[in-house]
Amino acid sequence: MKIAVYSAKSYDIEYLDHANDSFGYDLEYFEVPLSQKTVGLASGADAACAFVNDKLNRETLKALSDIGIGLVALRCAGFNNVDLEAAHDYGIRVMRVPAYSPHAVAEHAVALILTLNRKTHKAYNRVRDANFSLERFVGFDLEKKTVGLIGTGKIGQVFARIMQGFNCNIIAYDPFPSKDLADTGVDYLPIDKVFKNSDIISLHCPLTPETHQVVNKNTLRIMKPGAMLINTSRGKLINTEDAIEALKEKQLGYLGIDVYAEEEKLFFRDLSEHIIDDEKIMQLMTFPNVLITAHQAFLTREALNEIAETTLENISVYAKEAKSENEVTRDMIA
């Protein structure tokens, strides 16, 4: 089996090559993302392996089907970037890695909270410059603060348990509440009440038509003045313009994001010598109370190992024409 691996970075290659020792596939790596323009690179391959920002729209899927690709193996959990209706129409199976390390993402969300609150990123630079002043570094105790979760699946549950360790009060909204989590004292509330009562809101739901811009001027308006918003899920869960307005009005006290609505033009590349043609991210980067990381929440050794193993296992299941729990279909969206 020959696999065209798109959006391949050094860490993907290292972990896939290692996992492939026991599979023996012919892996061909391309640094470019998968899109209609780059489909041709997969000529002669049986499967295309893609990541979060690869554009698997109808045109790309048709072109993949035209060159005989029967499987898209996603190296991620989210599948909002794949037109599953089109994949069905062109007979392409789509598999994902549903859980690689919920700890990696949940712990990164906590890192964003602690950094924004205690300003360790600024302290590091100040001390290196022999500036030992503590001016403007006042934070707050997490103890007894109310943390609101939107989505309590695998990542949300790990995140909730970490925040319980800080003795925070956890409230949550999820259309499918977890009984296990409720038993630990997490209070499930209607979504408006979660926005209204939280000192910190953390988003852990998938991007769907229902959750698209779940953070917008209406939900930002009902949040506690000065609250913190953390997003490690998907950029389009937030209406960026509304978040910028709320930051300017000081209604939103802090914003920590690992994902950004327009990230596919920016993230996973070194653009340090380029002019960034995205006014919104440039504006966000000027706010002292905004912390942006470039979709790195998943990036731990454990997660990369699991991603590589599961991706190659998914390919074996496809080769055997067997069923897989990791397959995503258009019915899942419905």
7 binds ligand NAD (CB under 6 A): no
Q: Which residue has the tokens 């003795």?
A: 167
204 binds ligand NAD (CB under 6 A): yes
75 binds ligand NAD (CB under 6 A): no
Sign of dihedral through CA atoms 186, 224, 209, 190?
Answer: positive
256 binds ligand NAD (CB under 6 A): no
Containing 87, the helix (H) or strand (E) segment is: helix 84-89
Q: Residue 234 and residue 260: Cα distance in Å, rounded?
A: 7
Residues in 25-64 at the binding interface with ligand NAD, rule: CB under 6 A: none
b/e burial code for range 96-122 (CB count within 10 A of at least 16 → b): bbbebbbbbbbbbbbbbbebbbebeee
Cβ neighbours for 313, distance < 8 A, ≥ 6 positions apart: none
Q: Residue 188 and residue 76: Cα distance in Å, rounded?
A: 28
What one-character DSSP code corresponds to residue 56?
B
- For the question of residue 263 being annotated catalytic, the response is yes
- For the question of residue 204 being annotated catalytic, the response is no
150 binds ligand NAD (CB under 6 A): yes
In the shown chain, the binding pattern of residues 219 to 238 toward ligand NAD, with x for contact by CB under 6 A and - for none, equals -------------xxx----
Among 15, 53, 96, 156, indicate the residue that binds ligand NAD (CB under 6 A): 156
CA dist 8 to 16, 60, 161, 312, Å? 10, 18, 33, 15
175 binds ligand NAD (CB under 6 A): yes
- For the question of residue 295 being annotated catalytic, the response is yes
> Which of residues 110 and 259 has its CB atom nearest to ligand NAD in the complex?
259
Among 8, 19, 102, 251, indicate the residue that binds ligand NAD (CB under 6 A): 102
Which among 17-25, 82-90, 135-143, 153-161 is the span making contact with ligand NAD, rule CB under 6 A? 153-161
> Which residues have a catalytic role annotated?
234, 263, 295
What residues line the site for ligand NAD (CB under 6 A)?
77-78, 99, 102, 105, 150-156, 173-176, 204-208, 210-211, 232-234, 258-259, 295, 297-298
